[in-house]
Structure 1
Amino acid sequence: MSASTLPERDWIRGISIRQPYVARVLAGAKTVENRPVRWRTGGVLLQTSKAVDRPALSAPLIGRTIRDRQPVTGAVVSESTA
């Protein structure tokens, strides 16, 4: 379905973030947003991009969060309605 076929004001906001940062967000380990854009309240989809930040996988804080799991990429992994 394209945006042109949706009824007016009927859309879903989303954000695409690279792994392993998505894993940290979902685990509650990343609570700070570094983007300069302010988010409005309401629902948002969290999508993993297809790219993985490979150097970040060796960082100790990230390593503790993902614990040798294979990060999911290219998928919607969470929905917030708050």
Structure 2
Amino acid sequence: MTDKTADITVAGRLTSLVAEQLEIAPESLDRGRSLGEYGITSVIVAGLAGDIEEEFGIAVDLDVIRDHPTINAMSQLLCDQGAM
């Protein structure tokens, strides 16, 4: 799998996780838009952190999600940490 393919795969899976937490359709999410604009709460961030660890096997601190506020930024971080 190429780096570009891994990025796309991780971003797609992360988009699904975020959509599930926000209870919206994945296709309605803009991967470059801040999650805060979708009304993400601390409860959702905590749920997303757990989902990310379960899906990718990578533990993320809640602050990491806040510091990488878009799906694109978070997926890049996950790829940098070895997510596939």
If the length of structure 2 is used for normalisation, what is the TM-score? 0.28
- Larger Rg computed on CA atoms: 1
In the superposition, the TM-score normalised over structure 1's length comes to 0.28
